[in-house]
Amino acid sequence: MQAVFYSQARNNLREIINKVCDDFDEYIITTKDDKSAVILSYDEYSSMKETMYLLSSKNNRDRLNDAVDQIESMKYTKRDIEI
């Protein structure tokens, strides 16, 4: 993650957008009033929102954690899915 001041970000916005989209880099943009924001790619943002949604329900979070535990302990059943 890189940090830049607002004026530097404004002058290099296209380059910053390309870096966050191509390299999955993130930028913290800070103003002279010490306010900060983060720039990240839309794909990364969407992924984070999806993860937060999936973990927002206790039942869903428990089921996902159980699935991870089963995979880690090799206690799962492999099934072929017909398409």
Q: How far apart are CA 8 and CA 72, in angstroms?
A: 45
Q: What pTM did the predictor assign?
A: 0.67
Residue 6 binned pLDDT confidence (cut-offs 50, 70, 90): very high
Q: Is 12 helix (H, G, I), strand (E, B) or coil?
A: coil
Map tokens 């428990």 to a residue: 62
User: pLDDT per residue over 15-31, tens digit each?
Assistant: 999 999 999 899 999 99
